[in-house]
Chains A and B, each alone.
Chain A
Amino acid sequence: MSFLRSLLAVAAALGIEALAGRISPGALGYLDLMLVVVAYFAIRRSQRSAMLVGCAGGLLHDAWFQAGVFGISGFKKTLVAWVVGGLASRLDLNHAPGRVTVGVVLSISDQFLEVGLYRLMDLATAPLDPVRIVSRAAVTGVLVAIVFAIMDRKGSRTSMRGIRGRA
């Protein structure tokens, strides 16, 4: 069941990214939904599930949106998932400020890692734009908070139904 949920989450993120790319290709410069999924799994589930989801989601992102090196998104998302998953197992990040911080940190580290990996492979990179970095990090942070809020609400409804059913 957990595996199916992970697959659904990755598929939903890919579907929304593809839709956003169809409607407004520039939007994907500010939006990385795979990171939101990674953040959710790192905080709510485990470091291992976050790494596996990051790896699968990154590879699927590469298959559709990467023209240069296949595997680069998978690599960076696995790595950031490991770091955030490790932090989440030691610190309590399951509250609104913690979730937003995780989203922001994930996004910033993902962007720097991307440029670093490109340079490591001797590929050309565009100069990093501070406005773009900050706005993308802010969007990711807010999205992480929204996704958690939705899932919390859904979870509380399910548990209420369970209590009523037992009563």
Chain B
Amino acid sequence: MPCHCTDISRVKSDIATLTSIQSKQAQLDSVDSSQTSLCKQLSGQLSKAVTPANLSSLTNHAAKFNDSQKSKHLFMKTLVTGEINSLRQTLTLLQDADKAYHQAQQQQRANG
């Protein structure tokens, strides 16, 4: 049964890194929100700015222009959250194993 201190340190570091990524994803959410609002604004302006009528497809499209980016960001958020949860479970396991290892080591020294 080995010592897990190094791994625990690495896992904690990774959780911190991923948490930092989550805050950047929150910034992406804010960008998405601003972009979506601008797209709606653009759509309204285009519908008044230009004809022919077939350009209405342009205005309809403009309103939803950022939707695909938004869904990509949402999916990435899910992945990061999942990975953090997974790392937290791993951390618990590693901490438990590490605790058992060090208790065993202490026991051995006491017995010796």
* A, B from the same assembly: no
